[in-house]
Structure 1
Amino acid sequence: MTATAIPDLSRATDLLRDLLGERLLVPADADFATATRLWNAAVRREPVLVARCADAAEVADVVRIAHRCRLPLSVRAGGHDWAGRALRDGGVVVDLTGMRRVEVDPDAGTVTVAGGATAGDAVAAGRPHGLVVATGTVRTVGLAGLTLAGGYGPLCGRFGLALDNLLRADVVLADGREVTADPAHDAELYWALRGGGGNFGVVTRLTLRAHRVPAALAGMVMFGLDEAVDVLRGYRDLIAEAPDELTVMAGFLPGPQGEPLVFVCPVHAGADPGEGERYVDRIRAFGRPLVDQVASLPYEDVLRMFDGGMVDGNHYLLRTRWLPGLPDGAVEALVAAARQVSSPYSAIALHHFHGAATRVGAADTAFGLRTAHSLVEVIAAWAPADPAGPHREWADATSVALAPYALPGGYPNLLAPEETDRVLLAYGANVDRLRRAKRRYDPEGVFSAVPTLPEVRGAG
């Protein structure tokens, strides 16, 4: 390493202390451990500074100071990335968790959120107006990170991915410049942000299209593992003909007796509740329900269904596949994985991509897959005292078993940092344009975000 590349931590600390005062945290501070702790306790990263920012101007100054002092940078918004890319060893954390302001414009039909807002923040603010934004399935996930790389969720069929509803983003670039990206301003950055993740800058504010959905028919129907093959076959037939208004998850969740249960989670967000009820009755007929909890719910309560799915302090590892269909071989592989699960905390989820999300042009955003499919999320979870090996082996074996039925690539928000080959495959024909955008907006690779893009210098 040359002398000019040596990080100047002392200088960075002085400059950031002048800027932020007590909102700069160093390892000796009482709050530092909490500020660098993630929900996935398997992540072991040791940043050296946490910069708790209050607005975009402070974010810009922190980015410039980190660059000037040659310190690596990471961005913590929701901090929900399972691989922990919100933290970097020896780095400065641009902490947006205090920036959670939400503004609702009912007349314009928009919701504008600061960079640290969660999906729950946005949905709660829209609820008095009967407005929702497209989100993922969990309230605590940061809305920026979810939106930038995709955003599968309960409204996917009716309104598309979260990124399909992004109207504008305010961004701090790697050199500290503050820019706006929308169709009329920096349109190439706007294109890249919708699917390319946090690789181009720090998104300090997003404006999202809002939708009037006062309530949805939603809930959970669960069956015993002995009925899993029939349930998944029924699910396959159902999603093949589901209308836009109906988006359905399925998979396996831990059961009270230690054996997984197969679940089907419908969300019908249409105007005709009778249509929704007919589909729910069809789901009930897949087998003999052990749990049958479906009701008309405010969208905020729809997202509460998975609140207990991730236990802070446990260890997690995720694997993912895109399935263009659900042939019997894939069904059997999923059921076998459930029977062989290595931990009572682990789960498998199938996310339903259809409807409005498939009618966006493949080149209109950076997101690379616009044909109907199921996103498989393999979630290995275990207690901190357990050895990681058996759980990693279970997740990897499940991924391998599904590979013959899968499309290339996978959902960039879930791919592991080392899976850069699959990241490139995920973007398909968009990959070269995306890499050019990375080189244009972040030529020095300041942002190592989700997804982890390979080295871009010299890329075509």
Structure 2
Amino acid sequence: MSGGTARPVEFRPVRRVCAGMTEKEATTYLRGRVDPARVLNPGDHGYAEAVRVWNGAVTARPALVVRSESVDDVRSALEAARVAGLPVSVKGGGHDWAGRSVRSGGLTVDLSGLRYVAVDRDAQVATMGGGTTAADLIDATTRHGLVTATGTSAAVSMAGLAMGGGYGPGTSAYGLALDNLLSAEVVLADGRVVTADEDNEPDLFWALRGGGGNFGVVTSLRMRLHQLDTALAGFLMFSPDDAASVWSGIEHLLADAPDGLSIDSGLVTGPDGSPAVLVSPTWIGDAAEGKELLAGLDGLGTVYTSRIGPAPWAGLIGFVDSIAPAGRHYAVRTRNVPGFTDDVMAVLAKAGASRTTPESTIALHCFRGAAARVAPDATAFTWRVPHFMVEVIGSWWPDDREPDRHRQWVERTTADLSAHAMPGGYVNLLGPDEGDRAADTFGPNTAHLQGVKRRYDPGHTFTGVPLPACD
């Protein structure tokens, strides 16, 4: 085994304390159980960094942050939160646009100290800590010619990504990130530590794959790896006047393509500052076959720029981080569309022309192939038919004096898409105010999820993404 060192887990019994503990008493209790320097209140050194998240518009300030470095730290934090009556949030990579990882007045379990990766090259399995990011995982696995399904951002935590889904350049070939999850170590609200996989706690394992962070704190996870040295990938930028022909061409190309082909797209600002249609293909397979498949992309419209060639997996992940860096202000909504109909393309064209800032984007993620062949009830992720997941991302600078106009652009665009969209949306992007869409998102899996919630978190310690209320 190589690629990192897994930290040994040392379990100590959590000392039961009396209910009604104050925040100050909770802090004192935790500093007796955890390194005092890692138990932070507002104003403490390191607190500002600990509560900083990707979306600079998030201003929530927890009462207490525990920078956990072990399973026992997490157990102690949950015990203190329970007896002090503090709402709990869990921070992995802090990349959730809604800022659910930091709740004002609550206790944040920060997993940034649980970042490690161990690679079993023979078994093609990676074991990682709950705070491990996509960048951490890629760095450890690609040196062995191994990869797994990651998202498009290098900063996202793998645990958070997999619990909600995990669209990315490998979706067609490898499935979603959650489809590659083999097991998870989970700290439950009552302090119990369980391992969830196909044979142990199978209901919890089912719910973790697509049900969001609603069931416990994932302190470590194991993921399946795949042999890959390089992919054929890159991007093209087209004139927005050719958007219809570009999207129609993408849909035609994907219709009968092998699983190795995935094509994401979007509306962005081009190198010269004008709007552009971005097309980002990824081919995993024989290089000659891939070149033949992608040869027709240049003919779909007026090409501003084209860069396609052999690329390491690390080169495919993180491009979005340069387009949408941490610290700017964001509003995000999501819809799934079954294809590029005339109506869908008209909405996208209108939205592209009416963007309120050059930094605002629309991203369309391809879902097909291996991901679409998983049974809808095999995991909590329900919608397993081919589609394009749409991210509408409003972005503006912190000193902008009219932020509402950017949020309104996001709301208008998603409202216009709703008439042509599938039920629900992408779990990892649903806003905290979109509980009414949760039942549509989980569809026929809703009742099963509610049952798992009642069993593993009856007190609703973990709120994660919206989940329909239990009866």
Common fold: TM-score over 0.5: yes
Aligned counterparts of 2:190 and 2:386: Cα–Cα separation in 1: 39
Q: Name which of 413, 418, 424 aligns with 1:409.
A: 424
SS in structure 2 at match of 1:275:
helix
Q: Does structure 2 conserve the Cα–Cα contact (< 8 Å) formed by 1:7 and 1:71? A: no
What is the TM-score with the length of structure 1 in the denominator? 0.96
What is the TM-score with the length of structure 2 in the denominator? 0.94
Aligned counterparts of 2:40 and 2:177: Cα–Cα separation in 1: 33
Residue 330 of structure 2: aligned partner: 316
Q: Name which of 13, 35, 41 aligns with 2:27.
A: 13
Shift of 1:288: 2.1
Residue 300 of structure 2: aligned partner: 286
SS in structure 2 at match of 1:67:
helix
Q: Does structure 2 conserve the Cα–Cα contact (< 8 Å) formed by 1:111 and 1:133? A: no
Aligned counterparts of 1:277 and 1:114: Cα–Cα separation in 2: 38
SS in structure 1 at match of 2:430:
coil
Q: Name which of 357, 381, 405 aligns with 2:395.
A: 381
Residue 85 of structure 2: aligned partner: 70
Shift of 1:255: 2.1
Q: Does structure 2 conserve the Cα–Cα contact (< 8 Å) formed by 1:319 and 1:379? A: yes
Q: Does structure 1 conserve the Cα–Cα contact (< 8 Å) formed by 2:19 and 2:83? A: no
Matching of residues 28-67 of structure 1 within 5 Å: 28-67=43-82
Residue 219 of structure 1: aligned partner: 234
Q: Does structure 2 conserve the Cα–Cα contact (< 8 Å) formed by 1:104 and 1:110? A: yes
Q: Name which of 159, 180, 187 aligns with 1:144.
A: 159
Shift of 1:6: 6.2
1:16-46 CA deviation, whole Å, 9 max, x = no partner? 1112221111112121111111121111101
Aligned counterparts of 1:23 and 1:391: Cα–Cα separation in 2: 37
SS in structure 2 at match of 1:167:
strand
Identity %: 45
Shift of 1:214: 0.9
Residue 327 of structure 1: aligned partner: 341
1:163 and 2:139 aligned: no
Q: Does structure 2 conserve the Cα–Cα contact (< 8 Å) formed by 1:314 and 1:383? A: yes
Matching of residues 52-451 of structure 1 within 5 Å: 52-270=67-285, 272-386=286-400, 387-449=402-464, 451=465
Q: Does structure 1 conserve the Cα–Cα contact (< 8 Å) formed by 2:20 and 2:83? A: no
Aligned counterparts of 2:255 and 2:450: Cα–Cα separation in 1: 34
Aligned counterparts of 1:7 and 1:297: Cα–Cα separation in 2: 54
Deviates more, 1:227-236 or 1:431-440: 227-236
Shift of 1:242: 2.5
1:291-320 CA deviation, whole Å, 9 max, x = no partner? 111110111111133230212221100111
Deviates more, 1:68-77 or 1:203-212: 68-77
Aligned counterparts of 1:147 and 1:216: Cα–Cα separation in 2: 22
Q: Does structure 2 conserve the Cα–Cα contact (< 8 Å) formed by 1:8 and 1:71? A: no
Aligned counterparts of 1:67 and 1:236: Cα–Cα separation in 2: 50
1:72-128 CA deviation, whole Å, 9 max, x = no partner? 111000111000000111111101011111010011110111000001111110012
Q: Does structure 1 conserve the Cα–Cα contact (< 8 Å) formed by 2:446 and 2:468? A: no
Q: What code does the residue aligned with 1:402 have?
A: L
Number of residue pairs aligned between Structure 1 and Structure 2: 452
SS in structure 2 at match of 1:452:
coil
SS in structure 2 at match of 1:231:
helix
